[in-house]
Amino acid sequence: MKRYLMAMAVAAVTISMATAAMAFSGGAGIGADEALGRLKEGNTRYIGGAAVGPRQDAARRHETATGGQHPFATVLSCADSRVPVEVVFDQGVGDVFVVRVAGNVANTDEIGTIEYGAEHLGVPLVVVLAHTKCGAVTAVVKNEHVTENIGKLVAPIVPAVAGVKKRFVSADMDELISRSIEANMWQAIDDMYTKSPLLKKMAADGKIKVVGALYDIDSGNVRWFGEHPSNATLLGN
């Protein structure tokens, strides 16, 4: 009986979450915490095999084509094909403003795109989504030979890796890579604030929240880290 009741309770929660996901129509007017909650709920559905793939039909396409886009979150993620952002968070057309680039680095193009989302689209939440087994970070850790263009692309990762190697001199390669992936996530947030007076001011004024997260490409789970450990210092508060 207890197992039956537990199963019924889980089913009820799943149905409730799925119904809410299908009913949600946009991100206008919501805050960063609510936006974060929606991403967490979507990831829970995804890893639990209860994804509903909401807002992906003709009606949604027409709604966003005629009424514009109102995404509730911006996600800076790696270009890795194993990190399909809308799938990972079980969201639909017009829900998430996605910026994808190898190594989820925050450089001119990425930051400019994030600025557009924050200032012009009113997106309240920015997520830097790193992932396990990141090839870009691994290449920097191993000091692999890369083309000139790739070298410029991964340049923002270099200081994060250098810091890890300095702090963990006895770590093996797997640990160095793992720690560097996390450090690079924080580096992207640092770079965002350093290179964008707009994003820095919006974050300091509470108009946006910027958080870090790590996606496990095997389990599908997103681990949430929250704001930068030195957030107050970075924002000058």
Q: How far apart are CA 55 and CA 57, in angstroms?
A: 6
Angle between helices 2-23 and 32-47 (to 10 degrees): 130
**If you write DSSP's letter for every residue of 186-209 in order, what string do you get?**
HHHHHHHHHH-HHHHHHHHTTS-E
Residue with tokens 């194993």: 82
Q: Which residue has the tokens 């970070």?
A: 137
Single-letter amino acid, residue 130: A
134 is in an annotated binding site: yes
Residue 128: phi, psi to the nearest 5?
-95, 110
Torsion of CA 12, 15, 16, 21, to 10 degrees: 160
Write down the H helix ranges in 95-172: 108-119, 135-141, 148-154, 158-167
Q: How far apart are CA 147 and CA 88, in angstroms?
A: 31
Residues in the chain: 237
* Residue 78, marked binder: yes
Annotated binding site for Zn(2+), which residues?
78, 80, 131, 134
Annotated binding site, which residues?
78, 80, 131, 134
